[in-house]
């Protein structure tokens, strides 16, 4: 199946007389004929026991997303933040270290730089433009992974996935890629060597601004049995001696994330949310195509306007990340662009207040056009130094271009520009 078809048909194929649409199994638990049957579930036999760990509706959506990314399994979470947290803690304990690119989502920077540090897991931030030697220089004996964003929110830098995967694999550690902005319709990091992919499904996957969610996808390609990941190889005391690699082979990472960390942290989505996420996934390919088309048109329009200082959009042939974008997301550079107006912060805020169609919201990547000032919102907690490293200037505006008619979007932008 092509990706457009997978968006519709993976995860749930109804049999004779079954519901046409994916059913919602809104139940906390599941019935079995005997205590012995239930006992087997606690020995990790297949089957659902409790909806903090798995649920049939959520599982169908997990299988669909795994198929879209080309992975062997997936785990849905209640938010993108929960997905990044679990993806890291699944292979890092106190005393461990990892490397992340500096132009990642602001919330992820806080998680890595403050909260994980308090738990004893440290992170070194490096430029996504670093050379192989510069990346390798940050890898210590206790480094457990490298983390980056395929298309960074909001810096819009494009990650050279192959370069990072190469260095990671040379050091026997995995590459985790946050693929939220391109979605698997535009970019499939596993095809370029990423081992684990995560998403905030809150963005394009849901696409309608109706629910927060996340997902972790396992490529099944990484060899965990290399001496660095005892938690995946040695017996798990919390599961009477299960050895994930021995018992689950290629699915070791994603099984452990579910049965150990999801069991303990409990950030599993409700069936109704998975159902709503699935509605978003069914039209993902159409929406992402239109978002990319509209965003490119707006980027071109702004790029030649006298009041605009610069535009960041990797779909523009003048953008420094154009070549990487052509390689990793040839079908389009997604719907988000950022730009700076001459005049800095105050002009930026005045422009934003003059927009009428595009609303000021703390959101991005949805069907309706919206706008945000990162320095006063999502990235408010960052220092000036961190802001600069994340590619954010005080006057930067993030515009998330929706799927309205392009004339209406451009008209709104044009009107607001005329007012400053």
Tokens of 178: 């946050």
Per-position x/- string for 107-126, each x denoting binding to ligand PLP as judged by CB under 6 A, each - no binding: xx------------------
φ and ψ of 167, to 5 deg:
-65, -45
In whole angstroms, the minimum distance from the beta carbon of 182 to ligand PLP comes to 10
Residue 178 binds to ligand PLP (criterion: CB under 6 A): yes
The answer for residues whose C-beta is within 8 angstroms of residue 297's C-beta and 6 or more apart is 406, 409, 410
Nearer to ligand PLP, 149 or 195 (CB): 149
Encoding tokens for residue 5?
């078809």
Does residue 343 interact with ligand PLP by CB under 6 A? no
Nearest approach in angstroms of CB 100 to ligand PLP is 12
Residue 199: its H or E element: strand 196-200
Q: Work out whether the CA dihedral 192, 198, 203, 204 comes out positive or negative.
A: positive
* Contact set for ligand PLP, span 147-166 (CB under 6 A): 149, 153
Of residues 149, 153, 145, the one with CA closest to residue 123: 145
For tokens 């938010």, what's the residue? Answer: 79
Which phi-psi region, left, alpha or beta, contains residue 17 (left: φ > 0; alpha: ψ -120 to 50)?
A: left
Site string for ligand PLP, 35-74 (x = CB under 6 A): ----------------------------------------
Asked if residue 415 lies in contact with residue 351, where contact means CB atoms within 8 angstroms, the answer is no
Q: Does 81 bind ligand PLP (CB under 6 A)?
A: yes
In this structure, what DSSP letter does residue 174 have? -
Stretch that binds ligand PLP, among 76-84, 271-279, 310-318, 340-348 (CB under 6 A): 76-84
196 binds ligand PLP (CB under 6 A): no
Closest separation in Å from C-beta 379 to ligand PLP: 12
Cβ 41 to ligand PLP shortest distance, Å: 30
Q: Does 267 bind ligand PLP (CB under 6 A)?
A: no
In the complex, which residue's CB is closest to ligand PLP? 80
Q: Report the distance separating Cα 101 and Cα 99, nearest Å.
A: 7
The Cβ of residue 376 has, within 10 Å, a number of other Cβ atoms equal to: 12
Q: What angle do CA 35, 41, 47 make, to 5 degrees?
A: 115
If binding is defined by CB under 6 A, does position 253 make contact with ligand PLP?
no
Judged by CB under 6 A, does residue 203 bind ligand PLP?
yes
Residue ranges that bind ligand PLP, judged by CB under 6 A: 79-81, 105, 107-108, 149, 153, 178, 180, 200, 202-203, 212, 214
């Amino acid at each position: 199946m092509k990706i457009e078809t997978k968006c519709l048909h993976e995860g749930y194929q109804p049999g004779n007389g079954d519901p046409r649409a994916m059913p919602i199994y809104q139940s906390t638990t599941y019935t079995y004929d005997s205590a012995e049957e239930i006992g087997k579930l606690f020995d990790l036999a297949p089957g659902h026991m409790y909806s903090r760990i798995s649920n049939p509706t959520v599982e169908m959506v997990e299988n669909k997303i795994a198929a879209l990314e080309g992975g062997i399994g997936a785990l849905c979470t209640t938010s993108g933040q929960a997905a990044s947290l679990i993806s890291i803690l699944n292979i890092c304990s106190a005393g461990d270290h990892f490397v992340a690119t500096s132009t990642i989502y602001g919330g992820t920077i806080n998680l890595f730089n403050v909260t994980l540090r308090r738990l004893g897991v440290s992170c070194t931030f490096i430029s996504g433009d670093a050379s192989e030697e510069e990346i390798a220089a940050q890898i210590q004996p206790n480094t457990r992974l490298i983390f980056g964003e395929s298309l960074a929110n909001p810096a819009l830098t494009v990650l050279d996935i192959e370069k990072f995967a190469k260095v990671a694999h040379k050091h026997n550690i995995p590459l985790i890629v946050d693929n939220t902005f391109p979605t698997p319709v535009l970019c499939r990091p596993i095809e370029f060597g990423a081992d684990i992919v995560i998403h905030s499904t809150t963005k394009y996957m849901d696409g309608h601004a109706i629910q927060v969610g996340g997902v972790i996808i396992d490529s099944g390609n990484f060899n965990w049995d290399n001496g660095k990941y005892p938690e995946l190889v040695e017996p798990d005391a919390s599961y009477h001696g299960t050895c994930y690699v021995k018992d689950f082979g290629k699915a070791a990472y994603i099984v452990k994330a579910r049965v150990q960390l999801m069991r303990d942290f409990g950030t599993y989505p409700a069936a109704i949310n998975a159902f709503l996420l699935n509605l978003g996934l069914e039209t993902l390919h159409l929406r992402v195509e239109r978002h990319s088309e509209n965003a490119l048109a707006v980027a071109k329009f702004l790029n030649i306007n006298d009041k605009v200082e610069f535009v960041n959009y990797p779909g523009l042939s003048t953008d420094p990340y154009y070549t990487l974008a052509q390689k990793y997301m040839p079908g389009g550079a997604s719907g988000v662009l950022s730009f700076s107006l001459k005049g800095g912060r105050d002009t930026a805020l005045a422009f934003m207040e003059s927009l009428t169609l595009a609303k000021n919201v703390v959101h991005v990547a949805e069907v309706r056009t919206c706008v945000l000032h990162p320095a006063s919102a999502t990235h408010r907690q960052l220092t000036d130094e961190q802001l600069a490293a994340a590619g954010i200037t005080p006057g930067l505006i993030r515009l998330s271009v929706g799927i309205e008619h392009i004339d209406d979007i451009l008209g709104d932008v044009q009107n607001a520009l005329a007012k400053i």
